Amino acid sequence: MIIVLNNKSNLTREEFIEYQSELSKIKSKHNIVLCPSIIHIANFYLENIHLGSQNVSKDKNGSHTGEVSSLQLKSFDVEYCLVGHSERREEFNETNLVISKKIKGLLEEKVIPILCIGEYTKEDLDTTVKVLKKQISTTLKELTEEEKKKVIIAYEPRWAIGKGKTSQIKEIDHTLKSIKEILPNNLLLYGGGITEYNIKDLKKSSFLDGYLLGGLSLDINKFKKFLQELEK
């Protein structure tokens, strides 16, 4: 399983140093990926955890003030990168076309894209599946079949982020199954509202290959409890 920790815009320099120190003590049979704020990537040193980025520019190196290219990320040994997170779509008006360019650029540098998809409001299952299928088809349409297989899909309903609430496992599995029918060879993660308590039900899913953790990633004690429950 892959567990992705998305720190978002959190942790000062001093806090990140302490945070890494605690993460360095964690042992798990699962692959853990840390996506810190980009400002902390240069200070990453963990050997028990893989390095990811929260974002990347749609453009290559050049005159793009404030942006970080896929080539720059690769030069810091970044292995994974989030793209299309709902907060990027909503707050920065990122379109499927922009996200598509980011994925293409990452693959060129052999950085694994983690494509975030999800509905903004709680919908009926059929509507949710239609929304997700459109997001997938428009963001991956420029890729070859082999390239598509390299993209990790993270299903994260926008309405569940930061709320500690998720749908019933049957509803989640219905949605995940629909995604697997489109992309049977892709790894599939779930995120949004995951806690150290509801993982007990979420891990019953028949289709999940891992989890994307936001708020939970920032609390080491809660994350440890999450891992303990997951590995039971």
Residues serving a catalytic function are: 85, 156
Residue 4 gets which letter from DSSP?
Answer: E
Whether 76 contacts 106, CB under 8 Å: no
Q: What count of Cα atoms within 13 Å lies in the side-chain half-sphere of residue 62?
A: 4
Of 150, 167, 179, 164, the C-alpha closest to 222 is: 164
Distance CA 138, CA 130 (A): 12
Whether 87 contacts 96, CB under 8 Å: no
